[in-house]
Amino acid sequence: MHRFARWPRRLGASLPGLLRPPGRADVRHRFGLERTLHDGAVADMSALALELGMISATVGDTHVEERIAAAQDRLTGILEDLRHVGTVIYPPVLATAGLGPGLLAVAEHRGLRILLDLPRTELSAEARSRTGLLVADHFHTLRPGSVVRVRVRGRRIVRVTITDREPGTRERREHRAVLRCA
């Protein structure tokens, strides 16, 4: 008997080496969350930071100017945190740059060394977004300096293999996922 045969079917996606790809609804939801965050809170806070700068320029009291400058610094830190959260939810570069350049940008931002092996033909929009999120999510589990190889094959049935080695280890780990895309 196979050693995993007694595992319930719903646990199969959590077996070591198997990645759970995001579904179509997950992709739409995460993209919507990132857009709402970016177009709402981040845009409003950026406008507030500019307004504080204009108010600071008209104030003659150095104590008030210092307090405004401190508030601007805190606001800038909060904005950076919100932008980071947005890129984890759905990296905007995946939507704008395409799968290859998007994954390279996410890997560079995370401090990963990456080798991409992508199909020669363009994937559908659904396949690009679901595959991109799957791989980007995995990148967020790795330590900076990790070496990663990503191989993507197929068009309607997309097979993804990610091999990684974290710094300070010799062990290579292999992760796989299969996505059915329209």
- In this prediction the pTM is 0.73
Which domain, by its residues, includes 168? 98-180
- Tell which of 39, 55, 89 closes a domain: 89
Among residues 148, 173, 174, the alpha carbon closest in space to that of 159 is found at: 174
Specify the 3-state DSSP secondary structure of 80.
Answer: helix
- Tell which of 89, 124, 141 closes a domain: 89
Residue ranges with strand state E in the chain: 113-117, 147-153, 157-165, 173-180
Specify the 3-state DSSP secondary structure of 172.
Answer: coil
For residues 174 and 103, state if they share a domain: yes
For residues 58 and 120, state if they share a domain: no
For residues 30 and 84, state if they share a domain: yes
For residues 34 and 53, state if they share a domain: yes
Is residue 20, in this structure, part of any structural domain at all? no
- Tell which of 89, 108, 139 closes a domain: 89
* Tens digits of residue pLDDT in 104-153: 999 999 999 999 999 988 888 889 999 999 999 999 999 999 999 999 99
* Tens digits of residue pLDDT in 9-57: 444 444 567 888 888 888 888 888 888 888 888 888 989 988 998 888 8
